[in-house]
Amino acid sequence: MRIRTYPKAHILQKFHTHCQSLAANGNAGYQREFEELSDTAKEFSCRAGELDANKDKNRYPFILPYDHCRVKLSLLESQPHSDYINASYVPGGCTEHDFICTQAPLPSTMADFWRMIWEQNVQVIVMVTALKERARCENRPVLCNQYWPPEKGTGCYGALQVTTVSRHHGPDCYITTIHLRQHNNHTGRQITHYYYPGWPDQGVPKDHTSLVNFTEHVRKQLDDTPRLGSTVVHCSAGIGRSGTFVAILWLMQLCARGIPPDVHLAVRDLRRHRVLMVQNVEQYILVHQCLLHWLGGKMERPRTQNAVVHFKTAQPQTHRQSRKDWKNRRRNSDHTHRPESTHSSVQVSHTPHPQRTAWQSLRESLHTFNPGKLLQRIIPPSSQLGSHTQHNTHV
């Protein structure tokens, strides 16, 4: 099969037009596409996370990894269930294990978290949450427990020593160099820890430019550094912001290689590896807006209904509610069930388009092969990002 590659300007023009159509009629297209994701992966089990022995290892009781793609730790002294951690392998274009999306470590799971980093040969950790919710009340909810020494120094987590070597403060993020080694072993590894605290829980950053610049910096780091293992990405639950970040970075990689982005297909693939990746419509729209910004066009970005979709519910769903709703959908659905409405105030039109657009034709062609390995099949890993001279590539 052949798939055509395009110049960046061409991708921008077509993608801008596509986003305009999604934003029409109060974001009806965005809402429709997001609702179509509601039944994704309902057939997958989460038995390991539901075991009584593992319940206390979950930050949120209803956010659990699928059994078929959960990260398994080595057993500690043959202890049953010591292989469990709330973490999932997710694709990023080359393999099914490009990323590990996980919950923020709890005090009781920090040793397991660092054991995962060691066993999976992780070199980069991306943290897209603040430690606490930025509320004015004193009892702010903890979104992530501090799991590395904040200043120069060493902390011990199980059999591993974690040393903060240096810390640099960028405009909107912190970049920390961490040295990781096992006790009684002088050979260690260097970990780069990216900390982006300005992204609110279940929301979107106020400044898209900031997130785009941060994601592009991480993307270049990953492209320039030979990777031994997966890249770890986490927020608090490891689903909404983590999934959004991975989707943006993954689709940036495709665009850089001349492949138009398909946000819907990418998010659907992510959701087959971890529950509720890209958790709400606001985040789904954010993926599109960040890609438009990154593609570099100076044309006006498509307008959206007050930048986000407003729901009828007065308060956003908690992670517990989201997971319960998701489990109820799985329980009450069969193979012919249509996606449920999320009770949005946006009215969605299901009138089919009079003719198939070039963008739709491309999206249909992308469905014929595994999107999780799209990047690998398009361009060999040894090829350079900037080369788009060959416009017909075998897949």
Whole-angstrom distance, CA of residue 227 vs CA of residue 124: 9
Structure tokens that stand for 372 in this block: 């999780």
Q: Do the strands 160-169 and 174-182 form a parallel or antiparallel pair, or are they unpaired?
A: antiparallel
Beta carbons within 8 Å of 140's beta carbon, 6+ residues apart:
132, 133, 134
Cα 9 to chain centroid distance, Å, stands at 26
Structure tokens that stand for 169 in this block: 């403060």
Cα separations in angstroms, 4 against 7, 214, 261: 10, 29, 13
Structure tokens that stand for 224 in this block: 């320039």
Strand ranges in 206-338 using DSSP code E only, listed in sequence order: 231-234
Contact at 8 Å (CB) between 278 and 244?
yes
From 144, 235, 255, 290, active-site residue: 235
Q: Do the strands 99-102 and 231-234 form a parallel or antiparallel pair, or are they unpaired?
A: parallel
Cα 162 to chain centroid distance, Å, stands at 26
Active site residue 156: no
Element (H, E) at 83: none
SS3 assignment, position 99? strand
Structure tokens that stand for 171 in this block: 């405009």
Whole-angstrom distance, CA of residue 344 vs CA of residue 348: 9
Structure tokens that stand for 92 in this block: 């990023």
Contact at 8 Å (CB) between 172 and 198?
yes
Give me the active site residues, please. Answer: 235
